[in-house]
A and B are shown apart, each in its own frame.
Chain A
Amino acid sequence: MIQAEVDIGEILMHHTADAYSLDFSFFKLEWHAWPWAEFHLLGTTFNLTPTKHVVFMLVAGTLLFMTMWLVGRILERQRAGQKAPHGFANGMEAFVLWLRHDLVITNIGPHDGPRFAPYILTLFFFILYSNLLGLLPWGATATGNLGVTAALAIMALFTIELSGLFKLGIRGYMRTIFPSLPGMSGAGGLLMSLAMGPIEILGKLVKPFALCFRLFGNMTAGHFVILTLFGLIFMFGNLAGWRWAIGAASATLVLGVMLLEIIVAFVQAYVFAIINAVLIGMMQHEH
């Protein structure tokens, strides 16, 4: 017999969706959208009432700041004391430096790389912390929300394009939209350049779009899989004799997926950050 009272789909949608509530089982908090925090701009209604995902973003940000601030302080103290670096701070330093070098400087270049390092590093760790927070019990994944990933992608778009504008100048930047094609000159070349314009602009927009949906999709899909596997337990909960086996199998699979999700959390943060860095680097070295 399949139990029908539990609507897995509903749980799934409810779990991954944003809400005006916090639910820690032992502590529940619900609120409503504040009408005074609403404003209209460009035909869109913006409501700045904090949601569950806003709270988790703030938690991620706070935790991240605390970690890095502490790491920085410990490192400074170790250096001042002429002590050999050790422990968690040293590990984080190595991690940060590896990211700074392999992710940022390798892709953007030795001259411009260090200037973009704070942005890319913040991006990486913010996404990583948000991803990991979603894996904790009662946690919510802010990066599994299209709004958050869209905001990060829009930011990436502006960073990439503005970095190009500042580096290449207006003329140089226009070349990235209307490229000068090798082996074509005169009226034909001009025509082709103009024809390439819409394609280039579309290319510029598609990249952040992909960033946005990749992160959102990966984070949401993991939760869907975990919840679906958990749903099996509820669906077959009154199947006498088999339910223990199904429960054990589900729990094992969920454990496996959870471990996979930890890897995915790192990989997606890495992917988002490295693609951002690569795109900035491509823009910087466009000639």
Chain B
Amino acid sequence: MFSLLALMLQEGHGQAGGASGPFALEPGLIIWTWIVFLALFLLLRKFAWPFIVRATEERERTIQQQLADAERLNEEAKASLDKHNQLLAEAKDQAHELVVQAKSIGEKEREQLLARAREEQEEILERAKREIDAERDRALADLRREAVDLSLAAATKLIQQKLGDASDRKIVEQYLATLEDKS
């Protein structure tokens, strides 16, 4: 900085050859300028500028304040909206979860019911089959006995003699068994 000053001083002296021409640079004047300017600056800053720009500065401050307030309120509104949205999303999630849960429970229930129904059905079927088998067996036994009786009666008639003892019966039953096997 001072080298610049020295350069300028040299220039001034070099061109004017002394401190009298318009191109002379008087170092004392630099100090004077600073003193005058600084005094003026301080005085005006204290006694003049504040009163001239006060109204505008106040208005600026008010507007700035209002803008800041608006921004803050906006921020708050945004935050509460965010919170609201989050709550809504949570509620939706919960509802969804509940529905899913209910669905799965219903599904399970249905499965169980179906399984039980199937079981019962099978049981009933089984029982029916068993009863039919038993009935058939009984009917078959009856039929067989009837057949034996009829055969014996027929045989008695045929050979004119009473063939009623146990050994005869056995022969016929054996014969019938062979018939059964063939059929």
Q: Could you list which residues of chain A lie within 8 angstroms of chain B, going by C-beta atoms? A: 13, 16-19, 37, 42-51, 53-54, 57-58, 61, 64-65, 68-69, 71-73, 75-76, 79, 92-93, 96-97, 100, 114, 117-119, 121-123, 126, 142, 144-148, 150-152, 154-155, 157-158, 205, 209, 212, 220
**Can you sample 17 A-B contacts with CB below 8 Å?**
A19-B20, A65-B43, A65-B48, A72-B51, A76-B51, A114-B57, A117-B53, A121-B44, A122-B37, A122-B41, A123-B37, A126-B40, A147-B33, A148-B30, A150-B30, A154-B4, A220-B22
**CA–CA, A123 and B40, complex, Å:** 9
Cross-chain contact A50 with B44 (CB below 8 angstroms): no
A17: min CB distance to chain B, Å: 5
- How many A-B residue pairs lie within 8 Å, measured between CB atoms? 155
- Residues from chain B with a CB closer than 8 A to the CB of A37 are 28
Residue B175 lies at the interface, judged by CB distance under 8 Å to chain A: no
A118, B37: Cβ atoms under 8 Å?
A: no
Task: Let me know if A147 and B20 touch, CB within 8 A.
Answer: no
Checking B2, B29, B52 against A147 with a beta-carbon cut-off of 8 angstroms, the contacting residue is: B29
Please, which residue of chain A has its CB at the minimum distance from the CB of B51?
A72
Inter-chain CA distance A121–B43, complex, in Å, is: 13
Is there contact, CB below 8 Å, between A205 and B32?
Answer: no
Q: A44-B27, A97-B56, A145-B26 are in contact. List 15 more A-B contacts (CB 8 A).
A: A18-B19, A47-B28, A48-B28, A53-B29, A65-B48, A68-B44, A93-B52, A118-B44, A122-B41, A122-B45, A123-B37, A126-B40, A146-B22, A147-B27, A147-B29
Which B residues lie within 8 Å of A75 (CB)?
51-52, 55
Scoring B2, B5, B48, B56 by chain A CB atoms within 10 A of each residue's CB, the highest score goes to B48
- Taking the complex as formed, is B159 at the interface, i.e. its CB lies under 8 A from any CB of chain A? no
Task: List 4 A-B pairs, minimum CB-CB distance, nearest first.
Answer: A72-B51, A147-B29, A151-B33, A68-B48
Pair B4/A61 contact, Cβ less than 8 Å: no
- Does B36 count as interface, using CB distance less than 8 angstroms? yes
Whether the pair B48, A71 counts as a contact (CB closer than 8 A) is yes
Give the CA-CA distance A126 to B40 in the complex, in Å: 8
Check A72/B4 contact, CB under 8 A, given A18-B24, A61-B39, A145-B29: no
In the complex, which residues of chain B have a beta carbon less than 8 angstroms from the beta carbon of A69? 47-48
Q: Is the interface of A mostly helix, strand, loop or mixed?
A: helix
In the assembled complex, how far is the CB of residue A235 from the closest CB belonging to chain B, in whole angstroms?
A: 21
Q: Give Cα A158 to B40, complex, Å.
A: 18
Q: A46-B27, A121-B44, A154-B1 are in contact. Are A17 and B20 (CB under 8 A)?
A: yes
Closest to B60 in A: A114
Whether B50 contacts A72 by the Cβ 8 Å rule is yes
Given A96-B53, A150-B5, A154-B5, the answer on whether A51 and B37 have CB atoms closer than 8 Å is no
Let me know if B179 is at the binding interface, CB within 8 A. no
